Amino acid sequence: MSAWIWLIAGILLVAAEALTGDLVLLMLGGAALATAGVTAVTDLPVVVDALIFGCAALLLLLGVRPQLQRRFGAPPPTPTNVAALPGRSALVLEDVGAHQGQVRLDGDVWTARPLDESEVYPAGSTVTVMKIDGATAVVWKGA
């Protein structure tokens, strides 16, 4: 009977991990599932079941969780290529209007259009790249 309780507790803890994402409930759920497996095979007192759960939980929390955090807790990679361009400054080479314009961005010449299509940025001014739309840099000149 207690094997079923440990099994249900383990499944609920593993499912609850989806709400937190810090791997603690996953480790406790794994310990509960391990205890359910041992309890299903042997008929031990509840105190021994609790000791098995405690040892398994400590082993998982102190041994496995740090390794999983190092593996899956890494910060997102630094944006590269086109994803790295928004926020950079660009030099206007040819007046940038709603339907024309060019800017020099990181040494390359890009077709550009203003973020607000009613604005026109003169050649020689500096603008900020707001986004890349296909092969066109959408730029804005702050106040």
90-133 tens-digit pLDDT: 999 999 999 999 999 989 999 999 999 899 999 999 999 999 99
Contact (CB, 8 A) for 124 and 90? no
From 72, 92, 113, the end of a domain falls on: 72
- Assess whether 90 and 133 both reside in one domain: yes
**Residues 68, 104 within the same domain:** no
Look at residue 16 and tell me whether its pLDDT is greater than 70. yes
Q: Domain span at residue 99?
A: 81-140
- Are both 7 and 60 inside the same structural domain? yes
CA atoms of 123 and 101, how far apart (whole Å): 9
Question: How many domains is the chain built from?
Answer: 2
Dihedral sign for Cα atoms in the order 98, 96, 140, 108: positive
pLDDT at 66 over 90: yes
Residues 47 and 109 in one domain: no
Residue 100, pLDDT score: 92
Same domain, 62 and 93: no
Please give the model's pTM, rounded to 2 decimal places: 0.54
